[in-house]
């Protein structure tokens, strides 16, 4: 039986590898298919890397979720970094061309089913993503 919430500290690039591996394992155990697994792990990698780049450290909480008989997985990223001054700009959809600027948030959002973000300049940011089976 899985523990309800698993926390991964995010500070180094090795932590990113550990997070990716754990998210993949948990999601695979829930029954996610190959393509969805890659989507989820990629989104998690993007958001976790944001923590390292913009906030130096933070953590990610992974948990299975249930709603009206549907099962899914939720990952909540939290940091105490600088926050996002212009949310609208950060979430603006525009394809990056490899030399992309910005935090890759719109891209990550496309890969998951639910995407919530709250941020306060000087206090930190919380991003929660959910993917349903």
In angstroms, what is the minimal distance from the CB of 109 to other proteins? 10
Residue 57 as a binder of other proteins (CB under 8 A): the answer is: no
In contact, 9 and 59? CB cutoff 8 Å:
yes
- Backbone φ and ψ for 14, nearest 5 degrees, come out as -70, -30
Q: Cβ closer to other proteins: 70 or 95?
A: 95
Q: Which of 1, 3, 31, 35 binds other proteins (CB under 8 A)?
A: 35
Residue 91 as a binder of other proteins (CB under 8 A): the answer is: no
Q: Which of 3, 31, 98, 122 binds other proteins (CB under 8 A)?
A: 98
Q: Which of 92, 96, 114, 133 binds other proteins (CB under 8 A)?
A: 96
Cα dihedral 66, 36, 116, 119, rounded to 10, equals 130
| Strand partners for 128 | 76, 116
Residue 41 as a binder of other proteins (CB under 8 A): the answer is: yes
| Strand partners for 131 | 73
Stretch that binds other proteins, among 3-11, 80-88, 107-115, 122-130 (CB under 8 A): 107-115
**Residues near other proteins (CB under 8 A):** 12-14, 16-17, 20-21, 24, 34-35, 37-39, 41-42, 45-46, 49, 95-100, 104, 106-108, 110-111
């Amino acid at each position: 039986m899985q523990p309800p919430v698993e926390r991964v500290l995010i500070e180094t690039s090795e932590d990113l590898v550990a997070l990716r591996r754990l998210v993949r394992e948990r999601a695979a155990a829930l029954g996610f298919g190959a393509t969805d697994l890659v989507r989820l792990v990629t989104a998690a990698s993007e958001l976790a890397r944001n923590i390292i780049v913009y906030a130096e450290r933070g953590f990610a909480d992974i948990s299975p979720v249930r709603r009206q008989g549907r099962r899914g997985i939720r990952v909540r990223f939290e940091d105490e970094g600088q926050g996002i001054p212009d949310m609208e700009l950060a979430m603006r959809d525009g394809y990056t061309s490899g030399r992309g600027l910005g935090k890759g948030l719109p891209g990550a959002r496309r890969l998951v089913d639910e995407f919530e973000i709250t941020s306060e300049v000087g206090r930190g940011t919380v991003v929660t993503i959910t993917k349903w089976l």
